[in-house]
Amino acid sequence: MTTIGVVRETAPGERRVALVPEDAGRLRRDGLEVVVECGAGAGAWYADAAYAAAGATVTSRVQVYADSDILLCVTPPDDVDALHTGQTLVGLLAPLRDPVRCRQLAATGVTAVSLDLLPRTLSRAQAMDALTSQANVAGYKAALVAADAYDAYLPMLMTAAGTARPARVLVLGAGVAGLQAIATARRLGAAVTGYDVREAAREDIASTGAAVLTLDVPAATGEGGYARRLSEDESRAQQEALDTAVAGFDIVITTAQVPDGRPPLLVTAAALEALRPGSVVVDAASGPLGGNVAGSEPGRTVVSSRGVTVIGAADLPARVPQAASSAYSRNLCALLAGLIRDGEVAIDPEDEIHAAVVVARDGEVVHPRVRAATSEEVPS
């Protein structure tokens, strides 16, 4: 019988867990064994006792590694050497961002399955779309982080002591995270404006009831409906137009990404200079490859000499760990339902989803894009 293992996350500050007790119970009812490392869910307030009550075995990390056929994680564990041939590791393995780790994973002989590479527009993949579920959490939390750092009201408030105007919030990048940040800031009563380079995203902004910022920059939709990277000229034109537009806002939340690359710089040092003291900028695209805001650093909050707070908000889903874990766990269960046949892991290279998410197998990196990223030759 297939055994599903869950380990405690090892990345610094990571409080999510890959499987929540409710879904552990669901897998048990489907006839699978579940083994969970002691304390794996503690960061998201899921107690060992809840996993045990759901029918999982709570045990040591060593035992989880020894017993699991499929090991679930959020981000790749630090101790990949503990994995062994025949095991399948499933998580957000970031193989394109971290090809070295991907090679290490392949060397262990495991089958590595990464949800980052799921084909997102395929309707049967939607229940497995962890990038979307986690981006939703990130967008929600970005708005809360901004509201918390902002030393005035978000809604318009009329009191006997006078009327407070609503905060003016600008959200740059209106994909999954940006639209959720827009919706959340609107629920908090702010006057929200959104901006995106994709035409479809501009329509999405308008449909939330937020204002759409229009700049004289051509729409830039690329492969798969994602934004394409702007040319140098387009980028310069966007920067100049944004530098002027940004100054009129109290809060700026940035969520702009391009697939597998460095996030575009949208809020320049000049734009930060033009913001009024007390303004807040949350860079939700901040990460190891950079961010959307000049000088933002992942995990750091910097207050400029002029009193503008810049927050490098790199770890947003991990800061709402219960909701993020619950959604992620459900995504994994949907994926597992298609990976396990007659109680065994059954990878079908002809299946569009399997072909997209399996990055390493039998000691080799097998995914063509990841192979290219690891500078190996793609087999003919």
Give the residues lining the site for ligand NAD (CB under 6 A). 120-121, 126, 129, 131-132, 135, 172-178, 195-198, 201, 225-227, 230, 255-259, 264, 266
Please, which residue, 33 or 260, has the CB nearer to ligand NAD? 260
Q: Tell me which residue has its CB nearest to ligand NAD.
A: 175
Which tokens is 21 given? 């007790």
CA-based nearest residue to 68, from 129, 27, 26: 27
309-312 and 301-303 strand pairing: antiparallel
Task: Say which residues have a Cβ less than 8 Å from residue 19's Cβ, sequence separation at least 6.
Answer: 4, 6, 27, 34, 36, 72, 329, 332, 333
Which tokens is 64 given? 């989880």
CB of 123 vs ligand NAD, minimal distance in Å = 7
CB of 362 vs ligand NAD, minimal distance in Å = 31
CB of 167 vs ligand NAD, minimal distance in Å = 21
Please, which residue, 69 or 129, has the CB nearer to ligand NAD? 129
Length of the chain measured in residues: 380
Please, which residue, 88 or 133, has the CB nearer to ligand NAD? 133
Please, which residue, 57 or 132, has the CB nearer to ligand NAD? 132
CB of 375 vs ligand NAD, minimal distance in Å = 24
What CA–CA distance (Å, rounded) separates 113 from 338? 13
Please, which residue, 131 or 252, has the CB nearer to ligand NAD? 131
What CA–CA distance (Å, rounded) separates 260 from 7? 27
What CA–CA distance (Å, rounded) separates 306 from 263? 26
Please, which residue, 230 or 365, has the CB nearer to ligand NAD? 230
Q: What angle do CA 147, 149, 153 make, to 5 degrees?
A: 45
What CA–CA distance (Å, rounded) separates 74 from 93? 8
What CA–CA distance (Å, rounded) separates 256 from 265? 9
CB of 60 vs ligand NAD, minimal distance in Å = 37
CB of 238 vs ligand NAD, minimal distance in Å = 6
Please, which residue, 6 or 316, has the CB nearer to ligand NAD? 316
Please, which residue, 177 or 275, has the CB nearer to ligand NAD? 177
168-172 and 251-254 strand pairing: parallel
Please, which residue, 48 or 196, has the CB nearer to ligand NAD? 196
CB of 326 vs ligand NAD, minimal distance in Å = 19
3-state secondary structure of 164: strand
Which tokens is 292 given? 């959307």
Distance of CA 174 to the CA centre of its chain: 14
CB of 56 vs ligand NAD, minimal distance in Å = 31
Task: Say which residues have a Cβ less than 8 Å from residue 112's Cβ, sequence separation at least 6.
Answer: 88, 89, 93, 95, 102, 105, 106, 358, 359, 360, 361
What CA–CA distance (Å, rounded) separates 195 from 183? 14
What CA–CA distance (Å, rounded) separates 316 from 330? 19
CB of 179 vs ligand NAD, minimal distance in Å = 8
Please, which residue, 254 or 279, has the CB nearer to ligand NAD? 254
CB of 101 vs ligand NAD, minimal distance in Å = 21
Task: Say which residues have a Cβ less than 8 Å from residue 23's Cβ, sequence separation at least 6.
Answer: 329, 330, 332, 333
Q: From residue 5, how far is each of 46, 106, 108, 157 by CA, in Å? A: 16, 19, 17, 51
